[in-house]
Amino acid sequence: MATAKVKASKKSIISLPNQHLRQRSKKVGLISDEIIQIVDDMQVATIDWEKSRQHEVGVALAAIQIDKPLRIVIVRNNPDNKDDPSFTTFINPEITKYEGKKIKDFEGCLSVPNVYGKIPRYSKVRVKALSPSGKPFRTTAEGFLARVFQHEIDHTKGTVFIDHIKDKPEAFYKLTETGELEKLDYDKDIKDNDVLWAY
């Protein structure tokens, strides 16, 4: 007897200290119906997560964040508009060139609850990937979108954004109930935090 498929939701998103987030994802070979379903589940989970957050937007997600170790990334088409839940899918995404200067700015992650960080990223990147139909395509991203790609493609390599600032006490923040970012106490909240640094 076939079992009914469990519908994706915010509960599908794994978070630290889950060890899978530190593992490299595999390249997608055949873009099968299963791959398309994973993409759909990623989108549903991201939007469901967003509905539960007053001050945050679900901008992007990597497949490993719903515990699928495959090199798939989705990026919101219009992150400034919560009424637009559409995404672009990048299968086997690669950054082919880093350009511009490294700029520090704030990042959060659906898989790292209650922690933000000020992360240095290149201001411009060139990306190549496959579409869900298997067609190769390229894009150039600048500013915030360049940061998003670097963050998500890091996920496919088993890197979480906090890894870039592990030894930077001044770089850790939390989001307050009013939507403001305030510094965390590194020694108390971060340094020996078994949730964040379980390898």
- Catalytic: which of 107, 152, 177, 180? 152
In SS3 terms, 147-175 reads as HHHHHHHHHHCCCCHHHHHCCCHHHEEEE
d(CA 70, CA 151): 16
Instruction: Report CA 128 to chain centroid distance, whole Å.
Output: 17
Catalytic annotation present for 177: no
d(CA 15, CA 13): 7
Active site residues: 152
